[in-house]
Chain A
Amino acid sequence: MAGEIPDRVPVIPVVDGYFAPKIIGRDNDECFLDGICQAEALAASLARFGYDGAIAEMGLGDEPNVLGCPVEVEGNYVPLVVETLIAGREDIGKLKIPADSSAVATGGKLEPVRWLVEAVGAGQVVLGSVRSPFEYAATVRGLFDFMTDFYRDPELVRDLVAACIPATLAVGKALIEAGVDALVIKDSFASSSMISPDHYREFAWPAEVQAIGELGGLAPVVLHICRNSMPILEDMSKTGAAVLEIDSPVDLAAAKAAVGGRVVLKGNIDAAAVIEKGSLEDVEAAVRYAMSAAKAGGGFILSSGDSIPNSAPENNLTALVEAGKKYGKY
Chain B
Amino acid sequence: MKDTLENFELAIIAGNADASADLADTIVRQGQATADKIFDHLAAAMEEVGSRYETGEYFIPEMLRSAEAVEKAMTVLEPYLFERRHEQAGIIVMGTVKGDIHNIGKNIIVSALRASGYEVHDLGVNVSTEKFINKVKETSADLLLLSAFTTSTKPALLDIIAALESEGMRGEVKVISGGASHSEDFAREIGVDGFATDVKSTLAICRSLTGA
Q: Is there contact, CB below 8 Å, between B99 and A194?
A: no
Q: B64's contact among A78, A81, A147, by CB below 8 Å, is which?
A: A147
Q: Which of B65, B104, B126 contacts A80 (CB 8 A)?
A: B126
Set of chain B residues within 8 Å of A150, measured between Cβ atoms:
61, 64-65
Contacts of B65 in A (CB 8 A): 148, 150-152
Asked whether, in the complex, the Cβ of A80 is within 8 Å of the Cβ of B60, the reply is no
Tell me if B101 is interfacial: C-beta within 8 Å of chain A: yes
CA distance A148 to B15 in the complex (A): 11
Bound CA–CA A81/B62 (angstroms): 25
Contacts A80-B126, A195-B59, A196-B59 given; indicate if A148 touches B101 (C-beta within 8 A).
no
**CA A147 to CA B99, docked complex, whole Å:** 22
Q: Which residues of B contact A194 (CB under 8 A)?
A: 59-60
CB within 8 Å of A: which B146-161 residues:
150, 152
Which residues of chain A (214-231) have a CB below 8 Å from chain B?
Answer: none
Q: Which residues from chain A contact B59 at a C-beta distance below 8 Å?
A: 192, 194-196, 199
Q: Which residue of A76, A81, A195 is within 8 Å of B99 (Cβ)?
A: A76
Q: Do residues A151 and B61 form an inter-chain contact, with CB atoms below 8 A? A: yes
Please give, as numbers and ranges, the residues of chain A lying within 8 Å of B68 by CB-CB distance: 148, 151-152
B61-A195 in contact (CB<8A): yes
Flag whether B177 is at the interface (Cβ < 8 A).
Answer: no
Question: Which positions 269-310 of chain A face chain B at CB distance < 8 Å?
Answer: none
A240 to B60, CA, bound (A): 27
Interface string of A61-89 (1 = CB under 8 A from B): 00000000000000011101110000000
Q: Which of B16-72 contact A (CB under 8 A)?
A: 59-62, 64-65, 68
* A82 vs B68: C-alpha distance when bound (angstroms): 23
| Complex Cα gap A321–B64 (Å) | 41
Contacts of A144 in B (CB 8 A): 64, 103-104, 107
For residue A143, CB closer than 8 A to chain B, the reply is yes
Residue contact A195 to B152, C-beta cutoff 8 Å:
no
Q: Are B61 and A77 touching (Cβ within 8 A)?
A: no
- Chain B nearest CB from A6 CB (Å) reads 37
- A80 CA / B103 CA spacing, docked (Å): 13
Which residues from chain B contact A147 at a C-beta distance below 8 Å? Answer: 60-61, 64, 104
- Which residues of the partner chain A approach B152 to less than 8 Å between Cβ atoms? 77-78
Contact with A along B79-103 (1 / 0, CB 8 A): 0000000000000000000010101
Given contacts A143-B104, A194-B60, A195-B59, contact A151 B126 (CB under 8 A): no
Contact B99 A82 (CB under 8 A): no
Q: In the complex, what residues of B have CB within 8 A of residue A151's CB?
A: 15, 61, 64-65, 68
What chain A residues lie within 8 Å of B104 (beta carbons)?
143-144, 147
Does the CB pair A82–B126 fall under 8 Å?
A: yes
Scoring A80, A151, A194 by chain B CB atoms within 10 A of each residue's CB, the highest score goes to A151
* Chain A stretch 246-278: residues in CB contact (< 8 A) with chain B: none
Within 8 A of A (CB), among B119-172: 126, 150, 152
Q: Which residues of B contact A143 (CB under 8 A)?
A: 104
Chain B residue with the shortest CB-CB distance to A80: B101
Q: How far is the CA of A82 from the CA of B64 in the complex (A)?
A: 21
Please give me the residue from chain A that is nearest to B68 by CB atom: A148
Q: A143-B104, A148-B68, A152-B68 are in contact. Are A77 and B99 (CB under 8 A)?
A: yes
Measured in the bound complex, the distance between the Cα atoms of B197 and A104 in whole Å is 41
Residues of B within 8 A of A (CB): 15, 59-62, 64-65, 68, 99, 101, 103-104, 107, 126, 150, 152
17 A-B interface contacts by CB (under 8 A): A77-B150, A78-B99, A80-B101, A82-B101, A147-B60, A147-B61, A147-B64, A148-B61, A150-B61, A150-B65, A151-B61, A151-B68, A152-B65, A192-B59, A196-B61, A196-B62, A199-B61
| Cβ-closest 6 pairs across A and B | A150-B61, A147-B61, A151-B65, A148-B64, A77-B152, A196-B59
A-to-B contact residues, CB < 8 Å: 76-78, 80-82, 143-144, 147-148, 150-152, 192, 194-196, 199
